[in-house]
């Protein structure tokens, strides 16, 4: 009977020395949740870098694309920016053609401050159209007046 007791003690001792084969995922989940929160907060700040006072319309939102949209922004001072980079008026078409050659989509998003004269926005759209860029999207804020009564 004493021999069997010794065996039990030895087998328990061997179990304590065996490596643990379970993975502790709690720290991994904690890190992933923190990263998720950081990206959720930072993502909206990365899409529109030029602060504008966009006009409001009743139009529906355009479906989003896989790649970052190619954006022309015109702030209240009238200086044009392509993707947060200032561009002179005579270089806009050349810069856009070079950028569109590297992209899958030929769509250009035009963001203009609400205080910019309509003639300036139409001139830019005309220049883009004359350059062969026909997929132009005007970016506005939702919640504007509805014209259907």
| Unique residue bearing structure tokens 């379970």 | 22
98 sits in the region (left: phi over 0; alpha: psi -120 to 50; else beta) called alpha
pLDDT, tens only, 24-67: 888 899 999 999 999 888 877 666 566 767 777 777 766 665 77
126/143 Cα distance (integer angstroms): 27
Total domains in the fold of the chain:
2
Q: Are residues 89 and 131 in the same domain?
A: yes
Residue 147 resides in a domain: no
54/96 Cα distance (integer angstroms): 22
User: Is 0.75 topped by the overall pTM?
Assistant: no
Q: Are residues 73 and 127 in the same domain?
A: yes
Q: Are residues 120 and 92 in the same domain?
A: yes
pLDDT, tens only, 124-138: 888 888 878 888 888
Domain region containing 113: 56-142
Q: Are residues 43 and 82 in the same domain?
A: no
Q: Are residues 91 and 38 in the same domain?
A: no
Spatial CB neighbours of 131, under 8 Å, sequence gap ≥ 6: 93, 96, 97
């Amino acid at each position: 009977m004493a021999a069997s007791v010794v065996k039990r003690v030895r087998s328990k001792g061997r179990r304590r020395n065996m490596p643990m084969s379970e993975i502790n995922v709690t720290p991994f989940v904690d890190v992933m949740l923190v990263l998720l929160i950081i990206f959720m907060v930072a993502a909206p700040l990365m899409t529109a870098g030029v602060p504008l006072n966009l006009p409001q319309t009743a139009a529906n939102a355009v479906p989003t694309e896989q790649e970052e949209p190619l954006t022309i922004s015109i702030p209240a001072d009238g200086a044009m920016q392509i993707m947060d980079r200032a561009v002179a008026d005579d270089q806009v078409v050349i810069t856009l053609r070079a950028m569109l050659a590297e992209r899958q989509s030929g769509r250009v998003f035009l963001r203009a401050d609400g205080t910019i004269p309509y003639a300036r926005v139409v001139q830019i759209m005309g220049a883009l159209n004359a350059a062969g860029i026909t997929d132009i999207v005007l970016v506005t804020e939702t919640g504007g007046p509805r014209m259907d009564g």
